[in-house]
Structure formats: structure tokens, C-alpha cells
Structure 1
Amino acid sequence: MAQGQKSNTLLVKGASRALDQLKYEVAGELGIQTPQDGYWGTMTTRDTGAIGGHITRKLVALAEQQLAGR
């Protein structure tokens, strides 16, 4: 996403780096080739959507575990 279009504000400093790392980790798990230059704008919507969906599933599962007291 272009810098001028960024609308989400992270509440925890340092979370940006962790989320970025998670993005690359999920892409690797799905077998999606990540861009070497770091620009995700040339990737297909299907691939970026799959990455985002899996990230959301992982974050929801983590929150559920924390709420359950694990």
C-alpha cells in the first residue's frame, strides 16, 4: 500500500515489524513468491488476499487462546 493511503494506526510500537515478519512467514507457508524489492503492488489480488486472510486467522486464533487463558 502506498504511504499516502495508509489509514490503519498501530497501537503498539514495534508491531509493524512483527506484522511485516508475519506477512512474509505466511506467504512462505502458502508457497507465494514474495517480491524481492519489497513492493507488493505488482502481486495478484488473489495472492495478497490469501496472505491477509491467513494472517487474520492466525491473529484471531492467538486472541482466542489468550482469552481462554492459555
Structure 2
Amino acid sequence: MKFKHILMIILVIAVIIVVIQNSEETSLRILFWKITMSKIIFYPLLFIVGFLVGVFSKSGSSNKIDKDKVGVIREY
């Protein structure tokens, strides 16, 4: 297994442990709304939203260099 996969598995296990330990209810106020839900639902939801934001922000960026703007480097 690659180091990246092992690190991801450890991170997921840590998230699962934190979610299980926080099973009481919490209130969330967003402007005029008050939402009461269990932390066991809230934390994974927050984790998934954060993950999706990271995936979509990564997919929008490009590492390619525009050769018209930079110019072409000649090799000798």
C-alpha cells in the first residue's frame, strides 16, 4: 500500500472514532433557522461537505502552463 492510502485509512478511522464519541444532540443556528441534530449526523455531514469542497477546488485548478503567455523555451 502507498503511504497516501495508509494515511487516508488512519484519517477515516480517526473521524469514525470522533463521531462515535460525540453522539449527543447539538443546535446549529444559521441566520433565522435553528437546527437541532445529533452530532453523529452533523460531523459526517460536515466532513463530506469539506471533502467535496476540496475535490471541486482541486479539479478547477490546472498545473498546465499556457505556452502563448509564457513563451517557448528553446533547447540547444
Larger Rg: 2
Indicate the structure with greater helix content: 1
TM-score normalised to the size of structure 1? 0.47
Between 1 and 2, higher relative CO (CA 8 Å, sep ≥ 6) is seen in 1
TM-score normalised to the size of structure 2? 0.44
